[in-house]
C-alpha cells in the first residue's frame, strides 16, 4: 500500500468490518438463557454457532486485509496459519 487513497480504502473496509463485529456481538449478548438447557440439535444452538462462525470469518477477513495491505504475501496453502502468526506478533 503506497498511496493515500489506498489508506482511505483500508480504513473504510476496516471500519465496516468492525461494525459487522459489533452487530454480531450484540446478537450474541446476552447469551440466550435457554441455551444452557437445550439439546445441541436445537435451532438456538445452531443460530449461536452460526453467529460465532460469522464473527470468526469477519475477524479473519479484517486481519487478512491488514496483512495484504502492507504487502505481506500469504502462501495460498498456509495462509490461515501465516495470518494467525503474523497478527499475533508484537
- Tens digit of each residue's pLDDT (9 = 90 or more) over 12-50: 999 999 999 999 999 888 766 665 666 666 787 788 889
> What grid cell was written down for 35?
441455551
Burial category of 24 from C-beta neighbours within 10 Å (exposed 0-12, middle 13-18, buried 19 and up)? buried
Before 30, cis peptide (omega within 30)?
yes
Residue 1 has pLDDT above 60, yes or no: no
pLDDT at 23 (0 to 100)? 95
Residue 80 has pLDDT above 80, yes or no: yes
Q: How far apart are CA 42 and CA 89, in angstroms?
A: 39
DSSP structural state of residue 36: G
pTM of the model: 0.74
Q: How far apart are CA 89 and CA 38, in angstroms?
A: 39
Amino acid at each position: 500500500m503506497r498511496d493515500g487513497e489506498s489508506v482511505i480504502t483500508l480504513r473504510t473496509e476496516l471500519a465496516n468490518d468492525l461494525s459487522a463485529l459489533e452487530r454480531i456481538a450484540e446478537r450474541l449478548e446476552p447469551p440466550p438463557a435457554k441455551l444452557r438447557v437445550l439439546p445441541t440439535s436445537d435451532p438456538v444452538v445452531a443460530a449461536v454457532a452460526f453467529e460465532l462462525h460469522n464473527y470468526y470469518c469477519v475477524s479473519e477477513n479484517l486481519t487478512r486485509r491488514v496483512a495484504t495491505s502492507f504487502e505481506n504475501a500469504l502462501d495460498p496453502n498456509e495462509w490461515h496459519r501465516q495470518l494467525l502468526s503474523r497478527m499475533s506478533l508484537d
